[in-house]
Copies of this chain bind each other. A is one copy, B any other.
Amino acid sequence: MARPKLQDVATRAGVSVTTVSRVLNNRGYLSDEVRARVNAAIAELGYRPDGIARSLIGRKSGLVGVIVPTVADPFFGELVAAIENALAERGYKVLLCDCQENPEREAEYLDLLQANRVDGVITSTHNREVRGYDAAELPLVAVDRRIGPRVPIVRGDNAAGGRLATEHLLARGARRPLLVTATDHPGNDRARAYRDVVAAHGIEPRVRAYGYSTPADERRALIETWLAETGADAVFATDDLTALMALEWAHKTGRRVPDDVRIVGYDGSAAVRLGMPGLTTVRQPIARLGARAAELIVDRIADPDAPPAAEPPLPVELRLGWTS
């Protein structure tokens, strides 16, 4: 038989569709007898309410769009897992938008999400020129990204993380620490902290930025060039994969780690902690970031006009390995 509908249940239970709907939604008064009969009919038919029809009526679809650069990156994979988990607990489903690191797709996705009436969007990409977020009259939450004045930002304490990493490298004897990061713009608090710390120690900053959309191979080549040309005796990479590239370079070129070159990464995703527990890294509270973003978007969906409170950055932690 085709999927049973409300009417089928009603017929079988000998009541009206209204009554069935009431039982389903547990609203209004119902005699126990009717309730029991309806529930029996539901069970017998294996009836399941059609979420689509429900969405069409209520204002909400129960869907939250999650836009990420790509879940192939363990940091974002773990973040999305946490978001999905927290949203599922609250009855929301995740429509995944994986931009494949491509800024154009982000704008398309935003459109698509609105067409599909998502109740809200969590975005965590770093494209700086995506239009459409202002126009979108959607509840929005950003993860570690500035969208606009009305969009709350969930993030780790980047300033503290940058400081921890840099101070640690200096404490371990580094005198020529190199910062490798995605972009070196003013909003990059990890870079700023690095600069502040080295300046306080009278050390000249060495900063290299590869840009978000640099393909992995190119990035690796760049990093290897930089490591060689700067004569760095330490590397602070603002993500773990980059740190691991530096580690690999050291291995290939016969440098001893940490004696010749100390290495600190950033993020501390479960995958990296599992696979490379030896990597010293600044561990972000990824699960908490995801959970908090989920909470916030649910709040904003409930009350879209509430002025966004400033989110205190979540604490990060230096995790020591043998690479430093």
A→B interface (CB under 8 Å): 46, 48-53, 55-56, 61-63, 66, 70-74, 76-78, 80-81, 84-85, 88, 93-98, 100, 105, 111-112, 114-117, 135, 216, 220, 240-241, 244-245, 248, 251, 269-278, 322
Contact = CB atoms under 8 A, between A and B. Distances in A.
Nearest to A95: B93
Given A48-B114, A271-B241, A71 B81 contact: yes
A85 B71 contact: no
A81 B48 CA distance: 30
A261 to B, nearest CB: 16
9 contacts: A48-B111, A48-B114, A50-B117, A62-B116, A71-B80, A74-B74, A220-B274, A248-B276, A248-B277
A61 B116 CA distance: 10
B274 A244 contact: yes
A274 B77 contact: no
Contact of A275 (B70, B105, B275): B275
A55 B277 CA distance: 47
A321 to B, nearest CB: 10
